[in-house]
Structure 1
Amino acid sequence: MRTKKTISELFSPLLVHEYLTNSALKFPDKTALVFEEKRYTYKDLDYLSDLLAIKLIKQGVKRQDRIIIWGENSHEVVLSIYATLKAGATFIVLNSLIKPPKFNYILKDSEPTIIIADSKLKDSVEIALQHYNKSVLVFYLGDSSEKINSLLSEGLKTDPSPEDFQLLTERKKSILDYDLAALIYTSGSTGEPKGVMSSHFNIVSAAKSIITYLNNTDEDIIIDVLPLSFDYGLYQVIMCFMYGGTIILEKSFLFPVEIIKKIENEKVTGFPIVPTILAMLLKLDKIKEYNLKTLRYISNTGAALPVEHIKKFRDLFPEIKIFSMFGLTECKRIAYLPPEDIDRKPGSVGKAMPNCEVFIVDENGKEVKPNIVGELVVRGSNVMRGYWNSEELTNQVFRKGWMQQERVLFTGDYFYKDEEGYLYFVGRKDDMIKTKGERVSPKELENILCSIEGVSEAAVIGVPDEIFGQAIKAFIVKKLNSQISENDILKYCKENVELFMIPKIIVFIESLPKNPNGKVDKKKLKEI
């Protein structure tokens, strides 16, 4: 017998955090999150994030305030994300490995109300705040505790009252799907990180599309080794809570054998990867000996999988589907290659995902014919709201669309389509380097290299690499009488930039080739 539904039940929630609450109602005692030895049910996560949201509100957090969450993957970071959303604020998840210059920039650019940071980063936070002239509350993530009070300690130890929960209910009711849910900082061609603005509507739309083509269900168990600061890693959690699955969160892929064992023991069904992870897997001598029969699919984005790696993996595990995908932070995901096409078109990233439309256009914005290279243009509700605090940069990538008052995203990526409409990535319109699944701004790295004592000039380019997609090649001009060595350069980089930004190749050169305008001619550098 069919039961009548209320008007509110007829329409799916549009807010990111409401999907967690919905799953808690459907599957209260089901394991939602596994992290190290801890297991949280949907009921646990929903309740604990409610408690933390109340505490954030009582600390003065208002709608659309920004909250920085800085730390390595953990259950507490997940709870902080959902508490931030329930409080009507905007979360900014930062990788624990980012260096002080980038953190300082993001701090000043985003102007957060609260910083929630790993206790290991306390010194870095305090140093940064010495040069920040605005008031911000800081709380540190506890090392071990089952109670949410370990997150926000001083002044937040009292249990919430019924009035507190009513306060939270009223705050939740005030949130719109148009409100900003996340700021994700990505490298920019200007040399400074860009804050990509995603509303609840943007995130939910993109997540629904991805869930649709991955055919995710509440029976899926996903292992996530990717940082939550990386949108690819972040969306694994968001999507899982939307369809009611289980997410196994790992700090990293540092110990591949342990991850493979966990896939076997936890009966994992989905494994999102980047090319470096697949390369490491294929190097394991006894990988075929593990029972991976429950693994339904692997997915890849960040850079194209090498064709030879696809073939080798298919030979080892022909029953595991491979979803090759393409995306960028500005619109999360654009295209995917159906697994049944992976053998036929291994070099393609497929076609546009559901509820997303793509075009290849020439320099005049006119759509080109098959096999002609042009710029990729995207339209759809997955496209970001714009760049935080940068109307100029936003206007550079958004242009007039095909309908009145519509704006479409010009990605800066060169593609072509074949006669069947399958997309093939050619390269970046600008100098941006995509390596190890991350985007690197040459200008940002060049500025850092030039700050090294003994370096006169520096230029950075990306070169093809079968594992990383692109590897970073740095050209260094020494100052007169400088004795600086390759080891000196690498040591400085290890201390001042993230690991993925460290050059793989360093070339010392007498002078950098330049064009008539005095700019470094990177086309000539690529010939060296």
Structure 2
Amino acid sequence: MPPTPLPALAPQTTPAAVHRAEELWPEQIAVIDEQWNAPVRLTWSELADRVRHFAAGLIEAGVEPGDRVAVWAPNSHHWPIAALGTHYAGAVLVPLNTRYTVSEASDIIERSGAAVVVASGAFAGIDRLSEVLASPIATGRTVVGIPLESAVDAAGAVPWDRFLTVSDESVANARLRADAVAEDDLSDILFTSGTTGAPKGVLAEHRHTLAGSHAWASNGRLTADDRYLMVNPYFHTFGYKAGILPSLLFGVTMIPLAVYSPGEAMRLIDSERVTVFPGAPTIFQTVLDDPSRTDYDLTSLRLVVTGATIVPVVLIERIQSDLGVETVLTAYGQTETSGFVTTCRADDDAVTVATTCGRAYEGMEVRLSDEGEVLTRGAMVMRGYLDDPEATAATIDSDGWLHTGDVGTLDERGYLTITDRLKDMYICGGFNVYPAEVEQVLARVDGITEVAVIGVPDERMGEVGKAFVTVADGTTVTVDDVLTYAREHLANFKIPRSVEFVESLPRNPSGKVLKRELG
């Protein structure tokens, strides 16, 4: 289908959007963060001021336009300040998955060339800052420590408050940097694994990012009266480009939550009169099934957005009937499109919302190849992959169509349904897992000769990994050997939940493993 025209955007860069927000809503609340002994509430004017000071801190640290800044931290008010401050200084944001091991984070920091790393102190039993400072990551880089459960004053790190203590001259220079940012400058590099197993850096420009965020927010009919509970991690497109940036564009109050629990989510919905609550289907299942749900007033909710896996029709119906939510939407996207390809609309029925991914966002178009692969092009499609022109050319053809690797169908209305994956990727708890990456790691276990990993259904996580393993004659490898090694080298969502030892892997005549025969 041809693309729906994208409406003209006033802010073409995130620094321009920061200026617009503080002009339109100076005294309205931008962020409510209750994860502290003294809860933090920032107006849009106050948030913009802290963004400028963070940008000035980057300038004093020697960051130049186009340099990269990595953020490795859970959801808190620090995250949007760091992200928007990075953009404000003309630099490029590199979000790091909080579930990464330090070796995984180190690889991405090295490949992206990040000059500054923002890391969180102790939180929920994990201290990323200490891990960074104890690793080669800290060598030759500025490390900024976010204070969480304890004050940050670790040797080798600059505490958050000290980093934001800057000169007036640096703040003025930050404003000049912000004004110089152009719509085709890079805004961020988000890493996503590929079929080769090596994570690929997706290069997104300000215009790509804001086009998607604006379309998402417009479709959800966001306004400055909305309050948005943010359980989706900020390092992911869902939390960053369908969370922070839409809020910035439409004046929505952000309420970050780093560690999800149905009780805490319901408490915040009740106390802060939350209106917008996106998340994976399992999030809403836990709320609906929580025996204490009737203790909270959840009637303020008006918009739920879900997806990332199969969504049961009955779940959509229960969100509408049991929670009284007026609008429930599902959508489809990839990191290569800033997370935006298709979406359902507010007037779609429950079956459409549950069984399709909706139709193309404004500014995007979708079609199917002769093989049924979903192709898309338009305003949100990436510039390409970091330092990988071959992978870029293989993904975006000469006519600008991005080949998603997914197989689907389009109905007469232009609504997309994903039916299969050309790639082997599966989704565990809302996170994409590429088996090739896991297989490369497990193949290093002594005694293992071959590995094939597939996604298998799981009631709680949607899908989880299962590894099929062959071992060399005369060697002994146990399930515990495999899983222990995986835990040391892989983020939790990538670790297979089961291991099966087999004599051989099924193959076709050309030698390719037939994963469809594994199960």
Q: Could you tell me the TM-score, scaled by structure 1's length?
A: 0.88
Aligned to 1:399: 397
Matches for 1:18-167 after TM superposition, within 5 Å: 18-35=16-33, 36=35, 37-119=39-121, 120-129=127-136, 135-143=140-148, 150-151=159-160, 153=162, 159-161=166-168, 163-167=169-173
Which shifted more, 491-500 or 293-302? 491-500
1:283–1:482 Cα change, 3 Å: farther
Structure 1 residue 158: Cα displacement:
5.6
Residue 423 (str. 1) matches residue 416 (str. 2):
yes
Which shifted more, 485-494 or 223-232? 485-494
Letter matched to residue 144 of structure 2: F
Letter matched to residue 232 of structure 1: F
Structure 1 residue 333: Cα displacement:
1.0
Structure 1 residue 318: Cα displacement:
4.4
Residue 357 (str. 1) matches residue 350 (str. 2):
no
Structure 1 residue 428: Cα displacement:
1.3
Matches for 1:186-197 after TM superposition, within 5 Å: 186-197=192-203
Equivalent of residue 250 in structure 1, options 244, 253, 257: 257
Give the conservation status (yes or no) of the 8 Å contact 1:275–1:468: no
C-alpha distance in structure 2 between counterparts of 1:66 and 1:319, whole Å: 40
Give the conservation status (yes or no) of the 8 Å contact 1:67–1:91: yes
C-alpha distance in structure 1 between counterparts of 2:161 and 2:113, whole Å: 20
Structure 1 residue 74: Cα displacement:
1.9
C-alpha distance in structure 2 between counterparts of 1:517 and 1:127, whole Å: 46
1:476–1:282 Cα change, 3 Å: farther
C-alpha distance in structure 2 between counterparts of 1:264 and 1:495, whole Å: 40
Aligned to 2:230: 224
C-alpha distance in structure 2 between counterparts of 1:318 and 1:291, whole Å: 11
User: Deviation digits for residues 6-52 of structure 1, max 9, x if unmatched?
Assistant: xxxx9722111322222112222221111122111111111111112
Give the conservation status (yes or no) of the 8 Å contact 1:301–1:327: no
C-alpha distance in structure 1 between counterparts of 2:276 and 2:512, whole Å: 46
Greater RCO, CA 8 A, separation 6+? 2
C-alpha distance in structure 1 between counterparts of 2:250 and 2:484, whole Å: 45
User: Deviation digits for residues 451-486 of structure 1, max 9, x if unmatched?
Assistant: 233433211012344543433221122344544433
Which shifted more, 451-460 or 255-264? 451-460
C-alpha distance in structure 1 between counterparts of 2:88 and 2:382, whole Å: 21
C-alpha distance in structure 1 between counterparts of 2:145 and 2:317, whole Å: 46
Aligned to 1:336: 343
Which shifted more, 467-476 or 294-303? 467-476
Structure 1 residue 408: Cα displacement:
2.0
Aligned to 2:485: 492
C-alpha distance in structure 2 between counterparts of 1:158 and 1:256, whole Å: 37
C-alpha distance in structure 2 between counterparts of 1:98 and 1:158, whole Å: 30
C-alpha distance in structure 1 between counterparts of 2:164 and 2:302, whole Å: 44
C-alpha distance in structure 2 between counterparts of 1:344 and 1:116, whole Å: 43
User: Deviation digits for residues 137-179 of structure 1, max 9, x if unmatched?
Assistant: 2222233689xx84174xx586412x33332232222211100
C-alpha distance in structure 2 between counterparts of 1:499 and 1:71, whole Å: 16
1:207–1:485 Cα change, 3 Å: same
Residue 240 (str. 1) matches residue 247 (str. 2):
yes
SS for the counterpart of 2:336 is coil
SS for the counterpart of 2:59 is helix
Residue 456 (str. 1) matches residue 449 (str. 2):
yes
1:145–1:168 Cα change, 3 Å: farther
Structure 1 residue 444: Cα displacement:
0.8
C-alpha distance in structure 2 between counterparts of 1:310 and 1:485, whole Å: 42
C-alpha distance in structure 2 between counterparts of 1:511 and 1:123, whole Å: 43
Structure 1 residue 288: Cα displacement:
4.3
C-alpha distance in structure 2 between counterparts of 1:90 and 1:292, whole Å: 38
C-alpha distance in structure 2 between counterparts of 1:481 and 1:277, whole Å: 46
Aligned to 2:124: none
C-alpha distance in structure 1 between counterparts of 2:136 and 2:69, whole Å: 15
C-alpha distance in structure 2 between counterparts of 1:157 and 1:324, whole Å: 39
Structure 1 residue 244: Cα displacement:
0.7
Give the conservation status (yes or no) of the 8 Å contact 1:20–1:46: yes
Which shifted more, 201-210 or 121-130? 121-130
Residue 386 (str. 1) matches residue 387 (str. 2):
no
Gapped regions of structure 1 (runs ≥ 5): 1-9, 364-373, 402-406
Give the conservation status (yes or no) of the 8 Å contact 1:139–1:152: no
Equivalent of residue 218 in structure 2, options 212, 215, 218: 212
User: Deviation digits for residues 292-311 of structure 1, max 9, x if unmatched?
Assistant: 11100110132231233223
Structure 1 residue 413: Cα displacement:
1.0
Letter matched to residue 440 of structure 1: V
SS for the counterpart of 1:359 is strand
C-alpha distance in structure 1 between counterparts of 2:325 and 2:176, whole Å: 49
Q: Could you tell me the TM-score, scaled by structure 2's length?
A: 0.89
Give the conservation status (yes or no) of the 8 Å contact 2:453–2:468: yes
C-alpha distance in structure 2 between counterparts of 1:313 and 1:244, whole Å: 26
Q: Aligned pairs, how many?
A: 494
* Identical positions, percent: 29
